Structure 1
């Protein structure tokens, strides 16, 4: 065994891992979606298989790591910019309990046994199904509970410029409503990092590079309204004279 080459490959693997963690964020340290899990599994497999294979050179190892990093980047980019691709890769949240009633078909489709469901509910402090307004199975397998006495829960109606149709369905709204809210607050969909539904209202968080632009648009709109009001008042005075 060539210990020098093995050490070099280990160092390259460590550097590749650090680069991916810093490039794609810390999600793979605590995976909460399919891409993070797959990224960890395959990256570990690549490093483990290459280190003890003398037929693969350090240069080839670097190329493989670069190709895998590019593939992960493309998948993450596509997932963050397409609601359809995100649903295909990560799946979508599923309502398991609505108004205290378990949706048995959904639970069975997810392979969630009654004992497992009740265990997760008890761990969340629920002892009676009648306490639960909604129970939602998230993409990472966790269950989010909304109780009848919860008045401060927030629901993401838009994430990364993509409208979450299942959330709109959950709150009894449709796409026309969120488009009206964006128009009312002078916000464009592509500029929205996050939009939360809070007490019947929508709170928008925009990407940093659009904040000044949208603020400028809002200020201009207010000035335009004031100008029109002044002109209308002046016309009224002239007509009275």
Structure 2
């Protein structure tokens, strides 16, 4: 191989890498714009996994001359279609969303640690204690409510906190465990929604219970408060 042909092949290699990186960047922008920005700050397992998969696709392919740009584009298109499709399914079907993302688990309620809930969430006593200490909590009895979220974070409400907000409806789904914490029932919630002109929780994007009042964010409007 002559020096000229060697340089030409080297130039083609870097051009190939550049084009693949460009395609990868465009795929990232497309997925973020089409599916939302959840993968920038992952709140569920699928958000985290899609970042790992994308890194594996780009990192494992861009330096391989055996995989053409067209093949790389096809792989990215399949990946983007799967991610966008899953996100759309999650927004339209709550059962699919629960299956993919899981659901928050209440670990501590009124100062009592639920051992079965910890086993269900696959979290050890040492991990619970560590997460509490990280939030400056050293006694379980001081915790009114602690929820283990899908992203592994522990959300804590302490006893005596002033006017905490309780999300009683999220994404059109009634959070029965939260209603129990505020000593309310699903029947009460249904009556309040009807008084405010809504037929069911499915019409509500977010409803918070704060200081005895129900604050609603319907799917088709902005925040409304009960008079």
Under a length normalisation based on structure 1, what TM-score does the superposition of the two structures give? 0.77
Return the offset for 1:83: 2.5
Task: Name the structure where helix makes up a greater proportion of residues.
Answer: 1
**8 Å Cα contact 1:81-1:162 kept in structure 2:** no
Q: Which residue of 2 aligns with 1:237?
A: none
Return the offset for 1:50: 2.3
Q: 1:197 aligns with which of 193, 196, 209?
A: 209
**8 Å Cα contact 1:35-1:76 kept in structure 2:** no
Return the offset for 1:205: 0.8
Q: Which residue of 2 aligns with 1:227?
A: none
Separation in 1, partners of 2:68, 2:77? 14
Q: 1:13 aligns with which of 7, 12, 24?
A: 24
Q: Which residue of 1 aligns with 2:64?
A: 53
Separation in 1, partners of 2:74, 2:23? 11
CA distances 1:113-162 after superposition (whole Å, capped 9, x unpaired):
32322222122122222211111111111111122201321122222223
- Say whether residues 1:211 and 2:216 are aligned partners: no
- Say whether residues 1:152 and 2:152 are aligned partners: no
Cα 1:178/1:83, change in 2 over 3 Å: farther
- Say whether residues 1:133 and 2:144 are aligned partners: yes
The 10-residue stretch of structure 1 (126-135 or 158-167) with the greater mean CA deviation from structure 2? 158-167
Question: What stretches of structure 2 of length at least 5 have no aligned partner?
Answer: 1-9
**8 Å Cα contact 1:97-1:134 kept in structure 2:** yes
Separation in 1, partners of 2:102, 2:180? 16
Q: Which residue of 2 aligns with 1:23?
A: 34
Question: What stretches of structure 1 of length at least 5 have no aligned partner?
Answer: 216-241
Q: 1:109 aligns with which of 120, 131, 134?
A: 120
Q: 1:181 aligns with which of 183, 188, 192?
A: 192
Cα 1:41/1:112, change in 2 over 3 Å: same
CA RMSD of aligned residues (A): 2.3
Equivalent residue pairs, number: 211
**8 Å Cα contact 2:31-2:84 kept in structure 1:** no
Return the offset for 1:190: 4.2
Who wins on radius of gyration, i.e. which is larger?
A: 1
Q: Which residue of 2 aligns with 1:167?
A: 178
Separation in 2, partners of 1:64, 1:127? 49
Q: Which residue of 2 aligns with 1:92?
A: 103
